[in-house]
Structure 1
Amino acid sequence: MKLSSLPLLLLILCCTERLSAQENQGFRNAPKVINDPGNFYKYAEHSRKFSGIPSITVTSKGTLWATWYAGMTSGEDANNYVVLAYSKDQGLTWKEILVVDPDEKGPVRAYDPEIWIDPTGKIWLFWAQTIGLEGTVAGVWSMTADDPDSENPLWTSAKRISDGIMMCKPTVLSTGEWLLPVSTWRLTDESAKVVVSTDQGVNWAVKGACNVPKADREFDEHMLVERKDGSLWMLLRTRYGIAESFSIDKGKSWSAAKPSALVHTSSRFFIRRLNSGNLLLIKHGPIAVKTGRSHLMAFISKDDGKTWSKGLLIDERMGISYPDAQQAADGRIYLTYDYNRTLDQQIIMTVFTEGDVLSKDYDECIVKVFKERKIISKQ
């Protein structure tokens, strides 16, 4: 997804798609939600030519949920739809329960989904809808269910939250505010936005935004961490790798995006605070090494990102990308990522702990992570 290409060509394509979307407002219409998608050829696993960009979460009772987007053609196009699945046996088997498809063969695509369980125990499915590949005219949508451990959760109707695209998990602040990292991508200033809810997701509004210099803009895919001193730390995807920005007023204002000390390819990474209070970072390659989309590794920081542990190798293969994770109450960290989106089309998960990352028995822990690897979906 979203590999860098010639800037001029991208600009021409994005401008064309933006005009098309402005003329056709179908991306603002509520999508179709199809239950039991395996009963329909278009949505069956064997009919897919593209699968990738996953997200994962786990309930307090151990039910695993995963989402990703797919399509009958091998690209990011009008055929894209969002898949939602769950597992009751720690990822050994998965059941696809629904897909979100805006207009079937029409021009609107559904993509970049995220799954999240909020502090009240409610599960949220987020995704984006637009025409083409331009984020400026996209919109973030969501559905929720109150009982994520049910065999057949009752989902609310789809609701459009804001303009833009939300690629990464929400963050709950010490103030009780919920923050969504929403981006309008390359054609807008202050594209890396923070959308806030103060009423547990009933209403949402833009609170602030970080500006990425034009020459560096890519897809943002920013993530937010509340540091122990109360400030907010934003990490963003840029053309050169990972940039950072800071806010000392809970997200109203942000410093200009500048290169971070985390060397990376232009691809999604993952950062999250763990139950211990330490930070988990999942990225490609060692902290100061750029490897391309290979060598996915996990790191721990005990000092709010100033220093990082030695990395635990998760998967060394070329063609892996887009990590997303969730820690359970028992300390297990569930990680998902994709592999070869148009060939193998694998959506993968594995499990490890903070102790595994920090362990001196490095080789043993690598083998453990490899043995924990399970397939959520594949061609």
Structure 2
Amino acid sequence: MPNQVSFVRQAIPALTACCLIASLLLSFPAAVRAQTVDPESVLGDTTMPPADDVSQNFPYGITGKTPPSLTKVNYKGQKPYHKHRINLRVFQGCPQVEISEEGRLWATWFGSNIQAERAPVMKDQFSVIATSADDGKTWKEVFIFDPSELLGGGASDPILWKDPKGNIRFCGRRNIEFQVKDEFASSAWEFTMVDPEDEHTEWSKPRLLGNKLISAMKPLIFPDGTILRPMDDLKLVGKPDKVRIRFLKEDVDGKPLFVSEFPADNDAVFAEQMPIIRKDGSLFTFYRALKGQKFAESFDGGKSWKLGGYFPMQFSVNTKCILKTLPSGRVLLVANDVQVKAEKGKDVYFYNDENGKEQKLKKQVTSRTRMTAYLSDDDGKTFPHKMLLCDDGQISYPSTTLGKDGAIYIVYDQGRGVIGQQAVFLSKITEEDILAGEIVNAKSFLNNTVSRPSDHGGGRREGDRL
């Protein structure tokens, strides 16, 4: 008995310590959710029916797996009064840009002849694909992605991106309101250009990627040719504690490897995450949140993610920004240089000038202005170099691509619902310009017009209710 009592007395402190450690561990938030799931459980079964299946022969037997198509416009011999002409357009925005191996520029965005953006179905909305053969001076709309002929479907969130082999791909989201349940009523489809030097290139057959939003941000390409596609389940925005921000990892042949997930974050809105690979091989991304940009990190190739909270520098409050590692090793950030603070119960919008002094916004009192290019010398920890690109109106949703000569091409939209605007702008700059805080390269330029319907008799007019 004395030996048993002694043993118990010795064991109690150890048990107490173990219980204390366990309780402390449980009290910390689960910052990392080592979560990879089977792609099919998230994307649905993307296996296509055989070619002779009724669903593959439009207009008969339409389902969510009936393939979409691209419509060629503005070609020689086309009648001038087609339904997608720019002078009918009253709304457009959310552009993307890409460049071919020989320097032909491509851009895409979505628009409508009828209404402003209306999530989630985006009915009566289509995506435009335009191209420029003269370094962005002039542009021509050449293809349309318009699912409206399929049961009134709508399109949203298109992207153009260049795969590891240099092929340019277009990815578009299609939304159809079926009268019966269909797993692919909302779906992402991808086409690949056959000849990106030809303004009216042929395209591959569309590939069904899945039934989630996969088409808002460009994929991350790894050195081995695998890619990581950002995903977001917009139907779950605003629903507390729902996991919805994800990544799809594909091998070099496009085979899905895994889907990883962020822990739930109720501050996150349309996440629009775009990761980079840091020098140590880890991944870093911003994602859009209510009060600015939050960040996340992965140390296992994107399989699990640690949320880091709000980034110390406030920018792009509840709007999109983009990250890209440049050949020099510096990190490019393109974002809205606007901060927000509360004064006497009201939001005050301001920025810090070159002397670090706060300046309140006067021309556009919104977080969506002052589109700015930043550079980081320390792998994205800080962004000490910056150059203002545009503060003319409501400016948002940047996208970028790199030319072989060190040029950085950036597109963004202006005033999606503002009379006389609905514009898409292109700026061409270099690292040297950003370091100087102004254009110093003779070939650089700011805010060339890619598209503005009001220049062609279109656009929103007085009295339009969109």
Q: What CA deviation, in whole Å up to 9, does each residue of 1:175-232 have, x standing for no partner?
A: 431111111135173322111111243x235431113423x13111111111111111
The equivalent residue for 2:320 is 268
Distance 2:396 2:289 in 1: 16
- The answer (yes or no) to whether the contact 1:211–1:257 under 8 Å persists in 2 is no
| Alpha-carbon distance in structure 1 between the residues aligned to 2:322 and 2:285 | 12
1:162 Cα deviation (Å)? 1.9
Identity of aligned residues (%): 28
SS of the equivalent of 2:335 reads strand
When residues 238 and 186 of structure 1 are mapped into structure 2, their CA distance, relative to the original with a 3 A threshold, is farther
Identify the residue that residue 47 of structure 1 maps to in structure 2: 88
Aligned counterpart in structure 2 of residue 145 of structure 1, from 193, 210, 213: 193
CA contact (8 A) 2:154 2:174 kept: yes
Q: d(CA) in 2 for partners of 1:161 and 1:224?
A: 20
Deviations 1:260-316 (A, max 9, x none): 224131111111111111100011116896760011111100111112123200001
For the pair shown, the structure with the greater C-alpha radius of gyration is 2
Q: 1:40 to 1:250 in 2, by over 3 A?
A: farther
Distance of 1:105 and 1:155 partners within structure 2: 20
Q: 2:448 aligns with which of 364, 374, 379?
A: 374
Matched, 1:295 2:370: yes
State how far apart, in whole Å, the 1-side matches of 2:260 and 2:438 are.
44
Compared with structure 1, are the counterparts of its residues 167 and 60 closer, same or farther at alpha carbon in structure 2 (3 Å cutoff)? same
**1:108 deviation in Å?**
1.9
What secondary structure sits across from 1:96 in the alignment? strand
Contact in 2 for aligned 1:327/1:333 (Cα 8 Å): yes
Q: Which residue of 1 aligns with 2:107?
A: 66
* Cα deviation, residue 28, structure 1: 4.7
How far 1:164 sits from its partner (Å)?
Answer: 1.8
When you count strand as a share of all residues, which structure comes out higher?
A: 1
TM-score calculated relative to the size of structure 2:
0.69
Q: Is the 8 A contact 1:282 1:298 kept in 2?
A: yes
Is residue 269 of structure 2 the alignment partner of residue 218 of structure 1? yes
Q: Greater CA deviation, 321-330 or 176-185? A: 176-185
Q: TM-score, normalised by structure 1?
A: 0.85
Structure 1, unpaired ranges of 5+: 1-24
1:40 CA displacement: 4.9
Q: What's the CA shift for 1:146?
A: 3.3
1:95 matched to 2:140? The reply is yes
- Conservation of the 8 A alpha-carbon contact between 2:151 and 2:176: no
- Are the aligned partners of 1:193 and 1:206 in contact in 2 as well (CA < 8 Å)? no
Pick one of 387, 409, 419 that aligns with 1:312: 387
Aligned-residue RMSD, C-alpha:
2.6
AA in 2 matched with 1:254: W
Is the contact between residue 100 and residue 197 of structure 2 (CA under 8 Å) also seen in structure 1? yes
1:341 counterpart (385, 407, 416) = 416
Deviates more, 1:187-196 or 1:32-41: 32-41
- Aligned to 1:128, the other structure's residue is in SS state strand
> Which one-letter code corresponds to 2:452 in the other structure?
K
What is the match of residue 68 of structure 2? 31
The count of corresponding residues between Structure 1 and Structure 2 is 348
Q: Secondary structure at the match of 1:41?
A: coil
Equivalents in 2 of 1:153, 1:98: separation in Å? 10
Change (3 A) 1:367 1:211: farther
Give the superposition deviation at 1:373: 2.4
Quickly say closer, same or farther: Cα 1:102–1:326, change in 2 above 3 A. Answer: same
Does the CA-based 8 Å contact 1:161-1:204 persist in structure 2? no
